[in-house]
Amino acid sequence: MAARLKPGEVDLGTTIMAVQFKDGVIVGADSRTTTGSYIANRVTDKLTPVHDRIFCCRSGSAADTQAVADIVQYYLQLFGVTEGEPPRVHTAAALFQELCYSNKDALSAGIIVAGWDRHVGPAVYAIPLGGSLHRQPFAIGGSGSTYIYGYCDANYKEGFDRDEAIAFTKNAVSLAMSRDGSSGGVIRLAVITKDGVERLFVPGNQLPTFWQG
């Protein structure tokens, strides 16, 4: 992914994740932003709200993903005003997909969109590099995700309750941070349900720990 960055561009070498549970979704991410081997920001917030109950997690170029998220946020606010109701999660995901696919040769952007709407309930969508769109019960992305596919496949189960989904997300992101040099810092989480959004923070000294070797 870094090879596609323009000179001087900041890379969101990262671990991002979203998990659907019974009553909503959890989105989570580490907080490290890198420029090559230099850590440009160790407390980045990679969880970006695009509407009241819809978030996106961003990986790839910081500039590209911020620009795309800003455009989607604008259109979703416009949708809410003109239609008189909040947009569906799929509407947000489809907007991201259209922007990422139609500009796939110019963008370095891997996006996860997750949220809750009254039509479908909780939903998670992944938009990887290239701009395809996939609805999944959980999604992982960024450079750290390659280290945790096995953990996620082995430990995910349908029907997670809130606490189980939070623990699953915290453990997965922490495992990725311990292996991936471009992921690190703290873990930021957001719990999205019909009642709203609850933000959670896990400082570096309270991360779940595993075998360190």
> Which residues, at least 6 apart from 50, have a Cβ–Cβ distance to it below 8 Å?
56, 69, 72, 73, 76, 92, 113
**Count, residues in the chain:** 213
Say how far apart CA 176 and CA 181 lie, in whole Å.
9
The pair of structure tokens assigned to 11 is 């890379």
- DSSP at 207: S
Helices of type H across 21-179: 62-83, 89-102, 149-155, 162-179
Say how far apart CA 106 and CA 103 lie, in whole Å.
5
Which is the catalytic residue, given 14, 33, 34, 169? Answer: 14
Say how far apart CA 179 and CA 167 lie, in whole Å.
19
Active-site residue, 209 included: no
Known catalytic residues are: 14
